[in-house]
Amino acid sequence: MTEQITKGHLLNLQNTIKSQFIEPYQNVKKLRTIQSTTKLQDSTSLKELSKLSNLMKSHATKIGIVIKPDTFDEKNYNAIFKEIKGFIDAVFFYFSLLPLFYDKKANHPEYFLVKIDGLTLDLLKGMELLCKELEEKLEDKDSDKDRLLCVGVIWACCDSLEEIATKGDFGLLADSIRGSNSLVDDVLNDIDEFLENPSFSDEMFMDDEYSSDVEESKTPEEEEALKKMCKFLESWKTNLKMIKLLLSSFVSTITNTSSRPTNYTGTVLDEFQKLHLKITEDIDTFISDVFMSDASFDVSDFEEEIGSLNVTLSKVIRVIKKINKDDNKKLKWVDVWENKYFKKE
């Protein structure tokens, strides 16, 4: 005969969530101290992450149903207990999986682990809201206003964990690089707008009528400076498109499962992550400074910024070559790109 679940049983579940998960793991440092003896057979940590994220979401969905005001009563305590207990068990298995990601032997880059950290803390926040919801229900408080808040938080977290499990190290890096390329696109659009109507930065804030008067009254020096700026930016359009091509090519490499490199470390991927972000930062600073120029514009004023960008690009090329060291075809392509961009003989 099935044991009748009481309010005390549900309170014990609530205390279990608090004592075993919420209270011990309130920050990333504590998450990374979790120890586990979990060993996987005929599976991977990413596959298990996918399964557990779907399982946790399934239980959260059912919890949202059983804690509705019209179903939360003593006769349904067994069903409520079953779903919350099932959710806790799934969370326990998830936490026992975390050390497999944090283990240095797993070779995951830090940007991947940071994602795991953040989503785990989000999951704990959803569980804290669940405890609050359960407590209010057991105290007969009218708490239906925020009933689905805890479920929504847990859902969002599980969806993101599933996405991470599907994309893995390379997929997350590819998304980040695409974001960088999108920013380069924005810069290219800004350059096109400037070339259509060249003007100094102080003219951009004038109304149309006053701006046209200023345009007609430009000095020969100003006209010459704008011509130089246009010529300079035209040449840099080509360079920026080449940078986009380099990054896009790398994305194609790491997202193609048949040609994905195997000789890499998490440290190398982290390095590439930092470098491509630095590239967009350098480009944005450099081109913005060009736009802010006045009649004293001179190409030599930007040698330092161009040099900084090129140093970063050289580091990117080095990392790409390291990752693709066993693929002669890709190495040759990178060499051609490097020679063309840096105009080597």
The set of residues, in sequence order, having a beta carbon less than 8 Å from that of 18 and lying 6+ positions away, is 131
The set of residues, in sequence order, having a beta carbon less than 8 Å from that of 42 and lying 6+ positions away, is none
The CATH code that applies to domain 7-167 is 1.20.1420
Least Cα distance to 269 among 333, 177, 331 occurs for 177
Q: Where are the domains of the chain?
A: 7-167, 197-341
Q: Report the distance separating Cα 154 and Cα 162, nearest Å.
A: 12
Amino acid at 152: G
In tens digits, what is the pLDDT along the chain, a chain of 345 residues?
Answer: 467 888 999 999 999 999 999 999 999 999 999 988 888 888 999 999 999 999 999 999 999 998 887 878 888 899 999 999 999 999 999 999 999 999 988 889 999 999 999 999 999 999 999 999 888 888 876 656 666 789 999 999 999 999 999 999 999 999 999 999 999 999 999 999 999 999 987 655 455 555 555 555 778 888 999 999 999 999 999 999 999 999 999 999 888 866 666 767 899 999 999 999 999 999 999 999 999 999 999 999 999 999 999 999 999 999 999 888 888 999 999 999 999 999 853
What 3-state DSSP class applies to 305? helix
Q: Report the distance separating Cα 279 and Cα 315, nearest Å.
A: 10
DSSP codes of every residue in 234-261 = HHHHHHHHHHHHHHHHHHHHHH-TTT--
